[in-house]
């Protein structure tokens, strides 16, 4: 008499073609027919074709097929469910491999001895142009110096946007915790502890957000507008050339900064809102 385990060939991580003679389970060849002494329900699918089909199934799928007791019904649906996650996993790991390879290849200013090491000082200058401190200090200074209500409104919203950017980037970096590329030298000035992580690039978010802000509110002349776009692109590119970031950190940073600008527009502080807020505080 078969043991309870052999009645349910699905459990125990074993194959439906487990032999159970004298109480022991042995893996049997999947291409050989099952032992004649097996009960009829175990002999289902004992022909070589079905056995091969089962052999190609993963343990998870075998688990899932217990309800159809080897009838084969429901397989196409299960195939759809199982193929997708593995396809996504393969696609993601391929993307990651390409990202790491591209980032390493492009990190040509990562140190002075790198192939483009002589350009490193220029890249570091571009880095400073996208750093949070000059942007916060510059905006606060313009806010203080501005004598028109419109100017103050614009500068205040830019200042709030810069703070929002710092908070959001900190949160995402702390959650994702992706390490910076191995070839990066951590010699950036004024960093927070969360800046040991690289995803997303804070410089890229700031460049995209401030770039959009400048284009929408401050820079109208066409040649200057081109320079703003060029500057934002160079800030992003310099992150990879300096070896600070992987390409995907910068791409995501650009996207995040772009969306952050939409957020600034949505939460725009008008003088009336500001007066209301200040009135509530007083
Ligand atoms: C200290 C302040 C106000 C901001 C820190 C700015 C900073 C160093 C961000 C890191 O940027 P990446 O993520 O692009 O390396």
Cβ of 201 closer than 6 Å to ligand 1, yes or no, is yes
Cβ of 130 closer than 6 Å to ligand 1, yes or no, is no
CA of 188 to the centre of ligand 1 (A): 8
d(CA 57, CA 80) in angstroms, rounded, equals: 13
Mean pLDDT across 85-94 = 90
Tokens of 13: 């991580």
Whether ipTM exceeds 0.90 = yes
Does residue 217 have an active-site annotation?
Answer: no
Cβ of 190 closer than 6 Å to ligand 1, yes or no, is yes
Q: What is the pLDDT of residues 4-25, one digit of tens each?
A: 334 333 333 333 333 343 443 3
pTM over 0.90: no
Strand (E) positions, the chain?
18-19, 26-27
Residue nearest to atom 8 of ligand 1 (CA): 191
d(CA 124, CA 130) in angstroms, rounded, equals: 10
Does residue 203 have an active-site annotation?
Answer: yes
CA of 182 to the centre of ligand 1 (A): 18
CA of 203 to the centre of ligand 1 (A): 6
DSSP category for residue 18 = E
Report the relative pairing of strands 26-27 and 18-19 from DSSP bridges. antiparallel
Q: Which of 202, 208, 239, 251 best tests ligand 1's pocket when mutated (most atoms within 8 Å of CB)? A: 202
Sign, CA dihedral 232-233-239-242, equals negative
Q: Is 19 helix (H, G, I), strand (E, B) or coil?
A: strand
Residue nearest to atom 11 of ligand 1 (CA): 202
Using the structure block, give the residue that is written with the tokens 């195939």: 79
pLDDT score for 80: 53
d(CA 68, CA 73) in angstroms, rounded, equals: 6
Question: Does 30 have pLDDT greater than 80?
Answer: no
* DSSP per residue, 187-225: --SS--GGGGB-SS-HHHHHHHHHHHHHHHHT--SHHHH
Q: What is the pLDDT of residues 218-234, one digit of tens each?
A: 988 999 999 999 999 99
φ, ψ of residue 187 in degrees (nearest 5) = -120, 30
Cβ of 202 closer than 6 Å to ligand 1, yes or no, is yes
């Amino acid at each position: 008499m078969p043991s309870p385990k052999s009645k349910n060939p699905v459990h125990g991580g074993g194959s439906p073609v487990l032999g159970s003679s004298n109480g022991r389970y042995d893996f049997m060849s999947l291409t050989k027919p099952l032992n004649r002494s097996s009960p009829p329900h175990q002999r289902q699918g004992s022909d070589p074709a079905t056995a091969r089909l089962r052999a190609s199934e993963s343990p998870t799928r075998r688990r899932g097929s217990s309800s159809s007791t080897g009838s084969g019904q429901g397989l196409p649906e299960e195939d759809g469910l199982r193929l997708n996650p593995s396809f996504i996993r393969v696609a993601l790991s391929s993307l990651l491999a390409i990202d790491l390879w591209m980032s390493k290849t492009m990190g040509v200013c990562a140190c002075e001895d790198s192939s483009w090491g002589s350009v490193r000082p220029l890249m570091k200058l571009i880095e400073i142009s996208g750093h949070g401190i000059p942007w916060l200090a510059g905006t606060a200074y313009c806010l203080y110096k501005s004598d028109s209500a419109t100017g103050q409104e614009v500068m205040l919203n830019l200042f709030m946007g810069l703070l929002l950017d710092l908070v959001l980037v900190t949160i995402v970096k702390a959650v994702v915790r992706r390490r910076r590329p191995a070839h990066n030298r951590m010699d950036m000035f004024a960093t927070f502890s969360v800046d040991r992580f690289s995803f997303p690039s804070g410089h890229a978010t700031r460049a995209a957000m401030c770039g959009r802000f400048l284009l929408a509110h401050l820079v109208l002349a066409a040649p200057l507008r081109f320079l703003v776009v060029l500057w934002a692109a160079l800030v992003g590119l310099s992150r990879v050339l300096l070896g600070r970031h992987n390409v995907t950190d910068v791409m995501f940073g650009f996207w995040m900064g772009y969306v952050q600008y939409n957020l600034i527009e949505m939460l725009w502080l008008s003088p009336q809102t500001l007066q209301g807020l200040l009135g509530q505080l007083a």
